Amino acid sequence: MTGFGAADGLVGDARATVEIRTVNHRFFSPNLKIPAAFGRWEGEIRELLRQKIARGHVTLTARIDRDSTAPVIDETRLAHYLTALKALQKKHKLAGELDLSTLLRLPDVIAAPSDEIEPRDGDALVQLVAKAVDNLTAMRKTEGAQLSGFLLERVEVIESRLANTEKRAPIRLKEQHDRIKRTVGELVGGAGADPQRIAQEIAILADKLDIMEELDRFRSHLSAFRDTTRSKTSEPVGKRLGFILQEMVREANTIGSKANDAPMLEDVIAIKEELERIREQVENLE
């Protein structure tokens, strides 16, 4: 499912921003872009995403806005230098004043900012990721509600087509009965046809063309699909819907193979089209 979630806050003395984007994918596929200094927390972040997101191609980007140009003054070292220089000045009776610019030019008094990350800073970044995931989940729930409405509309269309098929089934059987009688009558001519033999052929044909069991199972699958779609559980439902969909496709194929009737085949084709529309969405649904 598609979605976007972001969070920002402080990581140590720096401002951090986390953005998470997801697009449709059948499986969980993460792609993390985090500063190298936070690399040791990548596994923890990946696991956090896996626990919260069952499906989707997930792209996470974390940015740390640190003022890298600001120098770091080692005040302890500067104080040691100052004490030592004053002692030397007194010992050797040297004149002159010690100014700050001189002290700052001494070795290792000014250093570049350290890249070392404190454990609490890594934990703070992980907490920002968790917040961004929560925001992402809220957006995906909104999309899921919209998708649920689409799927339920498709179910209603399929039920309507199944009702047409059920109404047509006995009419089709009577037409087949009349066709057989007419065909046999044309073949035997005036000799007449054996009513018992025709009844046997009709019974065999009726058994071959009977679709009531398939219709009953199909409706049962539709009911399960509807209940799962409306479910309020926090557990992923995409895979379960996929399994139910497979069963509905199997029943549709069986009904189509038994139809032997143009109007019924028209309904079966329409049902398969709706099932394909459902499949396109269910494959990506979490």
Distances (CA, A) of 30 to 22, 27, 110, 137: 9, 10, 41, 15
Which domain, by its residues, includes 191?
Answer: 141-282
Looking at residue 41, the DSSP 8-state letter turns out to be G
Looking at residue 157, what is its pLDDT?
A: 95
Provide CB contacts within 8 A for 147, sequence distance 6+: 1, 281, 285
Residue 198 and residue 128 share a domain = no
Task: Report pLDDT digits (tens) over 110-130.
Answer: 765 555 677 888 899 999 999
Residue 37 and residue 128 in one domain: yes
Q: Domain count of the chain? A: 3
> Residue 28 maps to which CATH number?
3.30.230
Answering whether pTM is above 0.85, one says no
Tell me, yes or no, whether 154 and 60 share the same domain: no
Verify that 53 and 85 share a domain, yes or no. Answer: no
Residues 165 and 228 in one domain: yes
- Regions of the chain short of the pLDDT cut 50: 190
**pLDDT for the residue 45:** 94
Whether residue 222 is found in the same domain as residue 158: yes
pLDDT in tens, 7-36: 999 888 789 999 999 987 778 899 999 988
Give the per-residue pLDDT at 130.
95
> Residue 67: in which H helix or E strand, if any?
none
Q: Do 216 and 153 sit in the same domain of this protein?
A: yes
> What is the C-alpha to C-alpha distance for residues 145 and 230, in angstroms, rounded to an integer?
9
* Residue 127 shares a structural domain with residue 186: no
232 in the same domain as 175:
yes
Give helix then strand counts, H and E, for the chain: 8, 6
Q: What is the pLDDT of residue 232?
A: 76
Does 87 lie in the same domain as 41?
A: no
| Kind of pairing between the strands at 3-11 and 56-65 | unpaired
DSSP code for 113: P
**Residues counted in the chain:** 286
- Three-state SS at 93: coil
Name the token pair of 82: 């100052």
pLDDT at position 85, please? 84
Q: From its phi and psi, is residue 20 left (phi > 0), alpha (psi between -120 and 50) or beta?
A: beta
Grouping H, G, I as helix, E, B as strand and the rest as coil, residue 157 is helix
Query: Does residue 76 share a domain with residue 36?
Result: no
| Residues 38 and 131 both lie in one domain | yes
